[in-house]
Amino acid sequence: MKKLIFAIACLAIGFTANAADSKTSTPAEKKVEVKTTTANIKVGANKFEKKDFYRIQRMFTINDLCGNHVNVWVSAPNGTSFITMYDAALDHVVGCLNSNGCYQ
Residues of the chain with pLDDT > 90: what percent? 30
* pLDDT band for position 43 (cuts 50, 70, 90): low
Contact 87, 94 (CB under 8 A): no
Q: Could you tell me if residue 29 is inside a domain?
A: no
Burial (CB count within 10 angstroms: exposed 0-12, middle 13-18, buried 19+), residue 81: exposed
Q: How confident is the model over 58-80, as pLDDT tens digits?
A: 999 999 888 999 999 999 998 89
- Answer yes or no: pTM beyond 0.75: no
Q: Could you tell me if residue 36 is inside a domain?
A: no
Q: Could you tell me if residue 17 is inside a domain?
A: no
Residues of the chain with pLDDT > 70: what percent? 69
Q: Could you tell me if residue 7 is inside a domain?
A: no
